[in-house]
Amino acid sequence: MLNSASELEFSNENNTEDISQFASLALSGDEASSEKSSTGAPEKTGYPDSVYVMAANVFQGIRIEKSPEKVLIKYGNEPLRSLSESKDESFQRLSYELAFSALKYQDILETILIDSFIFPSTTIPDHLSSLIIVMLYDFQDRKFQARFLSDNEESIAEVQEVENLLISFKTKLAAALARCRIKHDALSIYHILPETVRNQELRASTLPLYAWINTCKISPEEVYHSLKKKGYHKVQSVLHINDKVFAVDQHCYDVLIFPSHLKSDLLNTDLFKDYKLIFQDKSRSLAVHSVKALLNMDDDILMVNTDIEILHETFINIESKDHRLQKVKVILLLPRCSGLGVSNPVEFILSEHEDAGLLKDFSQGGTSEDKLHILAQQQYEQLTHAMKFTKAQAVVYCTCSVYPEENEAVVKKALEFQGHGIKVQPYRLSPPVLPLCSLKEIHLSTDKFFRVEPSEITNGCFLSVLTRERDPSETVSVKDVLARAAAKGLLEGIELGKSSKREKKKKRSKISFPKASTTDSNGIQIKIAEFLNRETNANANQSETLTKRSLPQKNTTQVGSSSQVRKPNKPATNPLVPTFMKNTSSSRPYERPTNFIRPRPEDKMVVLKPVEIVLPPVMLPFSSPQGIRSQMPTQHFYCRWVGPKTVVPGYLSTPSIPRRGEKPKENLPSSLLRRPRPWL
């Protein structure tokens, strides 16, 4: 290993280039080298000066502090001043990504600065140490090439000073980087990172992008149409596809999935510029859909996102009896968590406005037990406080953590120690109203929790729904619901005092169709048979008389004879003959009794058995209007399709209706089927 200062001097330019190429092997953490080679992405040209300043300030707040005996480089406490503090999201993302990358390699970068004699040979103020770290990471990521500067870019004096210093130590920095790689016997310094961090970065480089459709501004169909106009086409899955495609999420209809390499292209579209599509972690959409299933009309939602300590204290101090929260029925609790179910921590922190201090845990591949205990205690306090709101009927608890200490343990503890002394119904665990799309999801949701484990297609998350048990003393009847609806004006024109149609039909059926006693059933059947025989003989005599008379006489005789043949006690009925056939010679209208009552609705559903009966053309089951009743002949005979059924006035007070499922009688007198047909 080279130790002397003279061994770091290289006069040969070829050796300098070899070491530079040798040192540039995969120190980049966020942009994997495999992805660069496959997509053919251009080499980096550096960042604007303002990005370096903001990244240095972020790094200053999240850097890993060491014990005094292990301190190699001293950092100041004062942040750097920027000429213009940009609030653009892309600007912030670049700054956070640069700071997070420098944080992951903090030990290696500090070793390179010491080994290259930048420290302590040069006199550098302590407040510039953070700026040197982030700019050194970017310098080696650019393979120690000069940064491209635009003419209209505003320069910052501190950035120019540090950049000149690094360029002057270019050769020594490249040699120190190569020695560090050889020391750890690694193909690249990237492999020096903990395995959990490497796996996380590998997932982050291929994880699809999830975008929420802002349905307040645009409908999903309009989004599909706009994307198709820009060359995107819809597929079932976006995995391992390098084309411009998108898919709809299986759990949330208003969430779209895009391949990761389309991020820059999507950010330049109007859909994202106008906030019609918003990049968002899928767990947040799952929580919103769970809340939506619990809401009623005019219900309020209280969303609690305690991403930083001050919000935790604010929520805990909110009085549950605050008059502003009396209409709150559902509380959505998104507590601060370790977030280790997320593969891209920078995107998670920016989209969810989480504390940047979480980047320190991500850089180490896990959360310490002490910090995990603190987070779990805060989550328990927030959940129990949310359960104290007496007007609330449900609490949705959602985290992006994979630790049971922050998930199941917190919920079970809150349910176990909830205040039973309060005069409200206790909470119970309820399964979220979400579709389960695989056997694995079904297995993970057996205990009424919804879990998603980190994978190549999604981040991990945990979801739990707590609902109040129903109070048996507050059971609401149908009349109470209708009364409330009428009070709100939802039942205009509807009289609640009237009984329903079904109740009226039941009452009518009880009055009009009394059931015959079993002792009189045999007598009724005998009387019906006698009546059928008399009607058959009368019809036969009438048909013989009609054949002997002329056409004009037929109509006269038919009308006149009907008054003689018919008995005076026979009831008058409604005609069944259509108006255009009432004067034809072949018409022999049949009549039905006047006391015939429309059958009940259930009679229409009786399955009829087909019977072949020779009938005149006029004998169709038509209902004539009320106005032509007086114009029709009074001699009629009514035959129902369900079987022969007549009523003898004087013997039976009400007609009997065939019961459901009863087969029609087929034993008709032969004269009904073989009588003369004078119309032929």
Is residue 347 classed exposed, middle or buried when 0-12, 13-18 and 19+ CB atoms within 10 A define those classes? buried
Of these ranges, 336-350, 491-505, 613-627, 641-655, the one predicted with the greatest mean pLDDT is: 336-350
β-pairing, 245-248 with 233-234? parallel
Of these ranges, 277-286, 344-353, 364-373, 444-453, the one predicted with the greatest mean pLDDT is: 277-286
Average pLDDT score over residue span 87-105: 88
Q: What mean pLDDT value characterizes the chain?
A: 74
Contacts with 210 (C-beta within 8 Å, 6 or more apart), sequence order: 249, 255, 256, 257, 279, 280, 281, 282, 285, 458
| Residue 277 scores a pLDDT above 90 | yes
DSSP string, 94-132: HHHHHHHHHHHTHHHHHHHHHHTT-TTTS---GGGHHHH
What pLDDT is recorded for position 363? 87
- Answer with the residue of higher pLDDT: 67 or 565: 67
| Residue 43 scores a pLDDT above 80 | no
What pLDDT is recorded for position 586? 43
> Which residue type is seen at 1?
M
Average pLDDT score over residue span 285-311: 84
| Residue 470 scores a pLDDT above 60 | yes
Per the residue annotation, which of 400, 437, 461, 639 is the catalytic one? Answer: 400
Q: Which residues pair with 609 in a beta bridge?
A: none
Identify the weakest region by mean pLDDT among 426-430, 452-456, 548-552.
Answer: 548-552
Average pLDDT score over residue span 497-518: 51
Residue 168: pLDDT band with limits 50, 70, 90: very high
Tokens standing for 673?
């089927």
Tokens standing for 97?
């990504």
Residue 306: pLDDT band with limits 50, 70, 90: low
Average pLDDT score over residue span 333-360: 82
| Residue 270 scores a pLDDT above 50 | yes
| Residue 618 scores a pLDDT above 70 | no
- Answer with the residue of higher pLDDT: 122 or 653: 122
Percent share of the chain, pLDDT over 70: 63
Q: What is the pLDDT of residues 405-450, one digit of tens each?
A: 999 999 999 999 887 656 788 999 999 988 888 788 888 777 899 9
Residue 617: pLDDT band with limits 50, 70, 90: low
- Answer with the residue of higher pLDDT: 412 or 659: 412
Residue 171: pLDDT band with limits 50, 70, 90: very high
CB 173 within 8 A of CB 112: yes
Percent share of the chain, pLDDT over 90: 32
Identify the weakest region by mean pLDDT among 15-19, 383-387, 561-565, 607-611.
Answer: 561-565
Distance, in Å, from the CA atom of 169 to the CA atom of 585, rounded to the nearest integer, reads: 122
Average pLDDT score over residue span 532-556: 55
Of these ranges, 72-86, 97-111, 146-160, the one predicted with the greatest mean pLDDT is: 97-111
What pLDDT is recorded for position 606? 57
What pLDDT is recorded for position 574? 45
Q: What is the pLDDT of residues 1-15, one digit of tens each?
A: 333 333 333 334 444
Nearest Cα neighbor of 238 from 203, 209, 273 is 209
Identify the weakest region by mean pLDDT among 19-33, 40-54, 96-110, 231-245.
Answer: 19-33
β-pairing, 394-399 with 427-430? unpaired
What radius of gyration do the chain's Cα atoms show?
44
What pLDDT is recorded for position 5? 37
| Residue 41 scores a pLDDT above 70 | no
Residue 119: pLDDT band with limits 50, 70, 90: confident
CB 289 within 8 A of CB 253: no
- Answer with the residue of higher pLDDT: 659 or 225: 225
What pLDDT is recorded for position 82? 74
What pLDDT is recorded for position 421? 58
Nearest Cα neighbor of 37 from 28, 46, 49 is 28
Residue 241 has a CB neighbour count (10 Å cut-off) of 13
What pLDDT is recorded for position 554? 39
What pLDDT is recorded for position 132? 96
Distance, in Å, from the CA atom of 54 to the CA atom of 82, rounded to the nearest integer, reads: 8
Average pLDDT score over residue span 507-527: 53
Distance, in Å, from the CA atom of 176 to the CA atom of 174, rounded to the nearest integer, reads: 5
Residue 366: pLDDT band with limits 50, 70, 90: confident
Identify the weakest region by mean pLDDT among 364-368, 384-388, 617-621, 643-647.
Answer: 643-647
| Residue 504 scores a pLDDT above 50 | yes
| Residue 215 scores a pLDDT above 70 | yes
Q: What is the pLDDT of residues 574-609, one digit of tens each?
A: 443 444 444 444 444 444 444 445 555 444 555 666
What pLDDT is recorded for position 469? 87
What pLDDT is recorded for position 576? 39
SS3 642: coil
CB 637 within 8 A of CB 535: yes
| Residue 95 scores a pLDDT above 80 | yes
- Answer with the residue of higher pLDDT: 82 or 420: 82
| Residue 335 scores a pLDDT above 70 | yes
What pLDDT is recorded for position 196? 82
Q: Is 400 among the residues known to form the active site? A: yes
What pLDDT is recorded for position 29? 39
What pLDDT is recorded for position 384? 93
- Which string of b and e fits 596-626 if b means at least 16 CB within 10 Å? eeeebeeeeebeeeeeeeeebebbeeeebee
What pLDDT is recorded for position 377? 94
| Residue 345 scores a pLDDT above 80 | yes
What pLDDT is recorded for position 390? 87
Tokens standing for 418?
């909830």
What pLDDT is recorded for position 91? 85
